Amino acid sequence: MKPSGIGGQAVLEGVMMKNGKEYAVAVRKPDGEIEIKKDTYEGITSKHKLFRVPFVRGMFNFIESLSLGMDIINYSASFYEEEGEKEMTEAELEQQKKKDDTIMGVTMVFSVALAIGLFMLLPTWLGGLVKKFIFPGAAGNHLVTAALEGAIRIAIFIGYVAGISLMKDIKRVYMYHGAEHKCINCLEHGLPLNVENVRKSSKEHKRCGTSFLLIVVVISTLVFMFVKTDTLWLRLVSRILLLPVVTGISYEFLRLAGRSESKIVDLLSRPGLMLQGLTTKEPEDDMIEVAIASVEAVFDWKAYLKENFPEVEIPEVEISEEAAHE
């Protein structure tokens, strides 16, 4: 396997692929056509070297991913607006866009706050509660508290992922998520990018956001074991303050996993790959076509294969006689 450097995200009826500063969103419109939007994204990590320092860059990259992710989700959803919204004047559309941007910003802040509360603060409170009533003899043992808290955090996270995977709309997004992974795996294993090769490629990938979130949950348990306090509010505050540290360590491990062929790294990556069984589904061929269109908009996969897999025979683009005459 040869890392390609590209990454992506599934959206409503589409896929986003990012290569460096460039990204493309391909969406299957209601009429069946594929709409492709190509743009560049220069986040905060490109503005100062400090934001690219190992173990520091993790938190900033995570924030950038959230920001770009919200933008492209909003873009893909715009193709499925109500008819009344499509008939707005330019002034009304501009006003609606400002309103949508405000709502998107509030939603992102609320989502982050909810995630911190659900996956960081709630397990901390429940961990102390469980220890108090079930393990009263372990009072003052911070390792027992951290272990209980970690177990509860993992249970809540897996339960949340499993729960939303049952939603109908989310199932289709997860199918596009599978198409995104399959395209990247297809290339990184030296296969020409076409529907047949993508279909037989794996839908699990070590650099997936699902794996990253699970790594955050596990790393947080280990990091929090070094915090020794029986005071609940201090434990809660420490969880928030240590979040950048946890995110930084998790991000570096994910980068390592994406490049390494080490058996140890593969073993440590296995739980994340298993969890992707919930967040990725086998895509239909028309979904694979959308993912391929997104890749080709920002990534020269033929040049990549020639450089990294010179033994692979790359098919030439067939040109019809009519096209040749034109």
pLDDT of the residue at 81: 66
Q: Would residue 324 count as lying in a domain? A: no
Mean pLDDT of 262-280: 93
Q: Would residue 163 count as lying in a domain? A: yes
Give the rounded percent of residues in the chain with a pLDDT score beyond 70.
Answer: 86
pLDDT of the residue at 231: 85
Residue 198 near residue 187 (C-beta atoms within 8 A): no
**DSSP string of 32-50, one letter each residue:** SPEEEEEEE---GGGT-GG
185-229 pLDDT tens trace: 999 999 999 999 999 999 999 999 999 999 999 999 999 988 888
Q: Is 10 helix (H, G, I), strand (E, B) or coil?
A: strand
Taking alpha carbons only, the member of 20, 15, 52 closest to residue 35 is: 15
Q: Would residue 95 count as lying in a domain? A: yes
Say if residue 321's pLDDT is above 60.
no
The answer to which of 73-82, 102-111, 241-250, 271-280 has the lowest mean pLDDT is: 102-111
Close Cβ partners of 227 (under 8 Å, ≥ 6 residues apart): 142, 146, 235, 238, 242
Say if residue 318's pLDDT is above 70.
no
Mean pLDDT of 14-39: 95
Close Cβ partners of 133 (under 8 Å, ≥ 6 residues apart): none
Strand order in the sheet with 7-11: 7-11, 14-19, 22-28, 34-40
Q: Is 27 helix (H, G, I), strand (E, B) or coil?
A: strand
Q: Would residue 301 count as lying in a domain? A: yes
The answer to which of 21-30, 38-47, 140-149, 190-199 has the lowest mean pLDDT is: 140-149
As for how many domains the chain has, the answer is 1
Q: Would residue 243 count as lying in a domain? A: yes
154-165 pLDDT tens trace: 999 999 999 998
Region of 215 please: left (phi>0), alpha (psi -120 to 50) or beta: alpha
Q: Would residue 236 count as lying in a domain? A: yes
Q: Would residue 322 count as lying in a domain? A: no
pLDDT of the residue at 319: 38
Taking alpha carbons only, the member of 71, 47, 73 closest to residue 60 is: 47
Say if residue 257's pLDDT is above 70.
yes
Say if residue 84's pLDDT is above 50.
no
> Rounded to an integer, what distance in angstroms lies between the CA atom of residue 285 and that of residue 155?
34
Q: Which two tokens stand for residue 199?
A: 């279909």
The answer to which of 48-52, 105-109, 128-132 has the lowest mean pLDDT is: 105-109
Q: Would residue 96 count as lying in a domain? A: yes
Burial of residue 47 (number of CB atoms within 10 Å: 0-12, 13-18, 19+): exposed
Residue-range definition of the domain harbouring residue 60: 7-79+88-313
Say if residue 140's pLDDT is above 50.
yes
> Rounded to an integer, what distance in angstroms lies between the CA atom of residue 141 and that of residue 152?
17
Region of 291 please: left (phi>0), alpha (psi -120 to 50) or beta: alpha
